[in-house]
Structure 1
Amino acid sequence: MLDYKYRMMFCISLSFFLLFTTTQKHFILIITMKISLCIALLATTATLLNAAPTEKSKTFPLTTNPNFKRNPKNAVAKARAKYYKHLVNVSADGDGEIPLTDVEGDLEYYGTVAVGTPPQNLKLDFDTGSSDLWFASTLCSSCSGSQTKFNPDKSSTYKKEGKSWGISYGDGSNAKGITGLDTVDLGGLTIKNQRIELAQSESAQFQQGATDGLLGLGFNSISTVSGTATPMDNLIKQGLISDPIFGVWFGKAKESGGGEYIFGGINKSKVSGDFTKVPVDSSQGWYSIKVDGGSAGKGGSLSGFSGIVDTGTTLLLFTDDVAKEAGDALGATDNGDGTYSIPCDNSEDLTLTIAGTDFVVPAADLIYAKQGSQCIAGFGSAGMDFAILGDVFLKNVYTVFAPSVPEVQFAKLA
């Protein structure tokens, strides 16, 4: 979940986050990338989107935030922190619809989730690159005054469990606390006895983010607390959705933003044509797929690679070799920090071929940020031996995650 999902200020040196020493099982660092100290707290507005969910599914719409300054270096740094150990050079019945808020011009997307009885509404970053559900709480002395803090004493369904949890991230941020069990409502789907992680402390980076916590949608093998059933696991186990999938659509800030998650179904009104089914390797706890290759610019070709489908990462981050191929084809220059400078008048698309189907990232989305007279590309490299298919790619497709198979499905947007 780097954001995505960039989201961590590159003012934090690469050498600093290379000190990260958690085990692979604690790889939920992806999510941090969206709530770092370097991301200023911005005002957001939620706009309900019309959707046509299928029977037995719930939708979470997304909305946009017009106040945004892009920082591509942060996005690369957060991705690297999230997948630190893979740096190349380092030794439904019912449906759940959740609208999303688009933060800082497609930097990240969050949805509102109700926890406890009566419900307490929390803004959570939904992340397929991690698997923990944690948030600020009234047990936390260091949490931000701008965050909504879950109060277990005000929930009649809360059960204290008391397992300790702690998360450390590559940018030096961290959080820790205890676990509990409570009711979690995802767009009208009520999960009972969901394990939740209540923060008792969090570092300054989290205090200035736009969210109250994270909701991981990766596989449970990378949950911080061993034996945890994720919210998606429990939606399936408790029979709350008849189809064990969730559909994701991300809007674009320049097109009024928004977005949605639908648990147990899809929004057919957002889909054009057939879905392409892609097998997933879940052995690392992520939705890892094979990309056949692709093209960019006028005649440039991209080699095949493995990549993680990650809603929690902002940019499209290639391996070093493929990033160079894309850069050469588009006349972009490697800035040496994971980002690429691209001509501000770029009019060339980039295409990825997945399971035999071409999916296009249009020229406009390949210009992620303008810094003075320089334009920064929506693609880059995190220096790892796999790619991360973040929001720059995902906002140009409709994506269905099917963890029980496992597979993902992509379709072109209507």
Structure 2
Amino acid sequence: MKTNACIIAILMVASSLIQATPLSEAQVQEKGWTIPMENNPHFRRNATMQSLRAWRKFNKLASGHRIGRVNVALTLPFIDEGHDYEYYASVQVGTPPRTFKLDFDTGSADLWFPYNMCKVCKGKTIYNPQKSSSYKKDGRPWSIRYGDGSTSAGILGIDTVYLGALKIMKQTIDMANVISNGFQGDVIDGLLGLAFNSITTVKGINTPFDNLISQKLIDRPVFGVYLGKFADGGGGAYTFGGYDKSKIGGNLTTVPVDKSQGFWGITVDSLSVGNKSVAKSFQGIIDTGTTLVLLPNDMAAAVAKRYGATDNYDGSYTISCDSSKLPNLKFSIGGASFKVPGPDLVFEKNPDDTCTAGFGYSSLNFAILGDVFIKNNYVVFNQQVPQVQIAPLAGL
């Protein structure tokens, strides 16, 4: 989630599942190391802020300024925050380890959390480098801004990071001594970026996923993402070094990735509302840190017209609350079809009994396929090729 907006509340993260015996490649693909997620029923969502957040996150690429060691895989359990608004997990850092609630974000590349020099980090888990025997000094400054305008800044350090049973040595960490109001009111402690290292705030840093590969903690340079739905019990999991075959409801379609901007960029062949085509080939980003599906202005307007949705002039649309009358939103990618069903096109019901759509718009010239898309389709990210593999979720 990143662009992953609103004030977020967090539940407890389920413990990681550990495989003690090395597996074959087929078993790795099927099982892996998985990270589960759960729901927070108390979160209030805001589609407008989601559109703003995504645009600000990617605005350097915008065309305008209008918002309109284990040799197997690790499955890490995740929390589903705010009725599918955001997903995050527990990560341990230091010796002895401290546990941080981190948003895993394929749309950014930094790992950061607060440390003891932060005076505005009340209520957060605080990292104290003086209390970690594995800490090493770096000291270089860093600063980052996210899509909702939230910011954080501080200095770099080096320490041991644990993703479940996987122990990452000498990981560069961004220690925050300043966080903006958006993060102060958010119950996550920080973020763990899973985009390419070309967009780290300080150049030349290895991401945690880089180090999982280089330190041979996983056999394959992949991770699979399953995001559960609140309506179906929530939860979710990231599988590092493989993927969870049980979550896949069809064939995996392999799609090349354009990493030139540091993101997981793909080509979408076409977009349809039901059986009515609304757009031909266009570029998109697969981003676990964005909640909605965000489309370029004209494309979003065409989709909205098909749904009878009205423009709120803030990056969001009002849509019928009767999801049974909403046809599927269909993405053709790599010659296969992937859908967002009607119920997931109703993002939230508002106090005035109107409903906000699960899609929005921005002045970006590419689409952002956020959690509304991902929670209906299993995605395997392969950093080495690079490529993604996508399949409909089992049971959908």
User: So what's the TM-score if we normalise by structure 1?
Assistant: 0.87
Tell me the residue number matched to 1:181. Answer: 158
Cα pair 2:45 2:82 within 8 Å, conserved: yes
Displacement of 1:95: 2.3
For the residue of structure 1 that corresponds to 2:130, the secondary structure is helix
From 368, 376, 379, the equivalent of 2:347 is: 368
Is 1:396 matched up with 2:376? yes
The answer to which of 185-194 and 168-177 deviates more is 168-177
For the residue of structure 2 that corresponds to 1:236, the secondary structure is helix
Q: Give, as a single letter, the amino acid of the residue that structure 1 aligns with 2:163.
A: L
Tell me the residue number matched to 1:135. Answer: 113
From 314, 328, 331, the equivalent of 2:291 is: 314
Cα pair 2:296 2:367 within 8 Å, conserved: yes
Is 1:55 matched up with 2:53? no
Where structure 1 has 5 or more consecutive residues not aligned to the other structure, the ranges are 9-38
Per-residue CA deviation, residues 358-412 of structure 1 (Å, 9 max, x unaligned), is: 0110000000011122111100112210110000000001100001000011011
Q: CA RMSD in A?
A: 2.0
Tell me the residue number matched to 1:246. Answer: 223
In 2, distance between residues paired with 1:251 and 1:172?
27
Is 1:356 matched up with 2:335? yes
Cα pair 2:160 2:170 within 8 Å, conserved: yes
The answer to which of 336-345 and 162-171 deviates more is 162-171
Per-residue CA deviation, residues 315-350 of structure 1 (Å, 9 max, x unaligned), is: 000111221221111111222111111111132211
Cα pair 2:16 2:34 within 8 Å, conserved: no
In 1, distance between residues paired with 2:275 and 2:18?
37
The answer to which of 325-334 and 364-373 deviates more is 325-334
Tell me the residue number matched to 1:255. Answer: 232
Q: Give, as a single letter, the amino acid of the residue that structure 2 aligns with 1:355.
A: G
Tell me the residue number matched to 1:71. Answer: 46
Q: Flag the 1:237–1:285 CA change in 2: closer, same or farther, 3 A.
A: same
Q: Map 1:74-223 onto structure 2 (within 5 A).
A: 74-90=49-65, 93-143=71-121, 145-169=122-146, 171-223=148-200
In 1, distance between residues paired with 2:78 and 2:184?
21
Q: Flag the 1:198–1:188 CA change in 2: closer, same or farther, 3 A.
A: same
Q: Flag the 1:369–1:170 CA change in 2: closer, same or farther, 3 A.
A: closer
In 1, distance between residues paired with 2:334 and 2:149?
38
Displacement of 1:55: 3.3
Q: Give, as a single letter, the amino acid of the residue that structure 1 aligns with 2:28.
A: E
From 210, 214, 222, the equivalent of 1:237 is: 214
The answer to which of 240-249 and 202-211 deviates more is 202-211
Tell me the residue number matched to 1:383. Answer: 363
Tell me the residue number matched to 1:11. Answer: none
Q: Give, as a single letter, the amino acid of the residue that structure 2 aligns with 1:131.
A: A
For the residue of structure 2 that corresponds to 1:274, the secondary structure is coil
Tell me the residue number matched to 2:314. Answer: 337
Cα pair 2:154 2:176 within 8 Å, conserved: yes
Tell me the residue number matched to 2:9. Answer: 42
In 2, distance between residues paired with 1:404 and 1:338?
35
Per-residue CA deviation, residues 208-254 of structure 1 (Å, 9 max, x unaligned), is: 11211110000000000110001111111011100110000000111
Tell me the residue number matched to 1:31. Answer: none
Cα pair 1:49 1:62 within 8 Å, conserved: no
Per-residue CA deviation, residues 281-315 of structure 1 (Å, 9 max, x unaligned), is: 00000000000012114535333210000000000
Q: Give, as a single letter, the amino acid of the residue that structure 2 aligns with 1:324.
A: A
Q: Flag the 1:49–1:226 CA change in 2: closer, same or farther, 3 A.
A: closer
Cα pair 1:302 1:322 within 8 Å, conserved: yes
Tell me the residue number matched to 2:388. Answer: 408
Displacement of 1:114: 0.7
Displacement of 1:89: 1.8
Cα pair 1:48 1:62 within 8 Å, conserved: no
Displacement of 1:274: 1.4
For the residue of structure 1 that corresponds to 2:2, the secondary structure is coil
Displacement of 1:170: 5.8
Tell me the residue number matched to 2:204. Answer: 227
Q: Give, as a single letter, the amino acid of the residue that structure 1 aligns with 2:329.
A: L
Q: Flag the 1:49–1:333 CA change in 2: closer, same or farther, 3 A.
A: farther
Displacement of 1:58: 2.1
Cα pair 1:110 1:123 within 8 Å, conserved: yes
Q: Give, as a single letter, the amino acid of the residue that structure 2 aligns with 1:85.
A: K
Displacement of 1:165: 1.1
User: So what's the TM-score if we normalise by structure 2?
Assistant: 0.91
From 239, 250, 256, the equivalent of 1:273 is: 250
Quick one: percent identity of the two aligned structures? 47
Displacement of 1:171: 4.8
Q: Flag the 1:377–1:139 CA change in 2: closer, same or farther, 3 A.
A: same
In 2, distance between residues paired with 1:95 and 1:391?
23
Count of residues in Structure 1 that have an aligned counterpart in Structure 2: 380
Per-residue CA deviation, residues 158-183 of structure 1 (Å, 9 max, x unaligned), is: 11111111223465532221111111
